[in-house]
Amino acid sequence: MLEAAALKPGDCVLDIAAGTGNQSLLAARIVGPQGTVLTTDISEAMLKVAEMAAQ
């Protein structure tokens, strides 16, 4: 999926229904510190898992 998005440094990403955040973390590595990744999910528990993985 990330290949199809053709992300590059500085891009902004919105990951809806992110689950554990694995794709968000990969996107963050691609967009780098100049980019932004916003992650959301309906499950608060999944967001906590994603937050822990990001640290």
User: Which position has the higher pLDDT, 17 or 1?
Assistant: 17
* Residue 41 CB coordination number (10 Å): 19
The predicted structure's pLDDT at residue 2: 80
CA nearest to 53, candidates 21, 26, 12, 17: 21
CA nearest to 32, candidates 13, 46, 17, 4: 13
One-letter amino acid at 22 equals N
DSSP secondary structure, 14-35, as one string: EEET-TTSHHHHHHHHHHTTTS
At 3-55, the pLDDT tens digits run: 888 999 999 999 999 999 999 999 999 999 999 999 999 999 999 999 999 98
Q: pTM value?
A: 0.86
Instruction: Flag whether 11 is marked binding.
Output: no
